[in-house]
Structure 1
Amino acid sequence: MFESLLRRLLAPGPAPLPDPDARLSLAALLVRLARSDGDYGPAELARIDAVLCSRYGLSPFEAARLRAEAERLEAEAPDTVRFTRAIKDHVPHEDRLGIIEALWEVALADGRRDAEENGLMRLVAPLLGIDDVASALARQRVEARLP
């Protein structure tokens, strides 16, 4: 499945992805965001797993397995646009704000905002059809929930 997904993501015009592939694309996007600042630590790993558990109803073991698969995909897939396209094609617009909030949860998991993570969020939000204002409001909601 992983190699098939990677081939479809790297194809010039990938066909729409089935739901499990969209799920893997979201997990890979979360990993890419967490890795973007060069510090992929325990807080971010835990936050990715928590997001996957809550979003997809996975057990902690299943979430960790999906994250591990996403880490491999993220390392081999050079194009963030493909991940966002897979998500945009399978997630209704009204649900994409939840994805932006999930991404902000990962970006803020280590307690700081890094330029690399901010830059990736500024790229990803419009690719998902979310404007800067909505993304900033999503970030504020996440910050309000953080301890």
Structure 2
Amino acid sequence: MFERLFPRRKPDPKPLPQPDAQLALGALLVRVAMADRSYEATEVSQIDRILSATFGLKPLDAAKLRATCEALERHAPGTPEFAQILRDEIPYEDRKALADAMWTVALADGDRALDEEIQLLAIETALGLSDEDIAAARQTALRHT
């Protein structure tokens, strides 16, 4: 009887970690993959490979990081805040490489979606990449499809 009058509340979810370069990159990769409202297994696998290669993680650790990034992407700040973390912590040349990696996520499902391209442009701009480098990343990605 008391249960109906005073239902138990679910415990507060575990607080999300403060974003660092790993989490910011992962969240942006997830954001790109989800931009077309479809989150395919091929995109998830590509994100895991990028996180593993970029940060020297074992596959299981990369998958755990990606899962945290998925939660962070849903509840955390917008693209400019994540990009600022990367701008502060990662040299320009490495940010150019991140743009190339993001393109591989956008194209991993075999579909060239306008929503993903728009999201990518916003991220590349927020990362402080030049128009020439943004165009080069796009050209490189589209040549490999």
State the TM-score, normalized to the length of structure 1. Answer: 0.82
Q: Deviations over 1:8-29 (max 9, x none)?
A: xxxxxxxxxxxxx111110010
Q: Specify every segment of 5 or more residues in structure 1 that has no aligned partner in the other structure, as ranges.
A: 7-20
Bigger Rg, structure 1 or 2? 2
State the TM-score, normalized to the length of structure 2. Answer: 0.83
Distance 1:2 1:31, change over 3 A: farther
1:61 alignment partner in structure 2: 60
1:5 alignment partner in structure 2: 18
State the 4+ residue runs in structure 1 displaced beyond 6 angstroms: none
- State the aligned residue count: 132
Percent same amino acid at aligned positions?
A: 40
Cα pair 1:33 1:106 within 8 Å, conserved: yes
RMSD (CA atoms): 1.7
Distance 1:67 1:110, change over 3 A: same
Q: Specify every segment of 5 or more residues in structure 2 that has no aligned partner in the other structure, as ranges.
A: 1-13
**Which is worse superposed, 74-83 or 129-138?**
129-138
Where in structure 2 are the equivalents of 1:1-147 lying within 5 Å?
3-5=16-18, 21-145=20-144
Q: Deviations over 1:6-50 (max 9, x none)?
A: 6xxxxxxxxxxxxxx111110010001101100101010000001
More helix by share: 1
Cα pair 1:125 1:132 within 8 Å, conserved: no
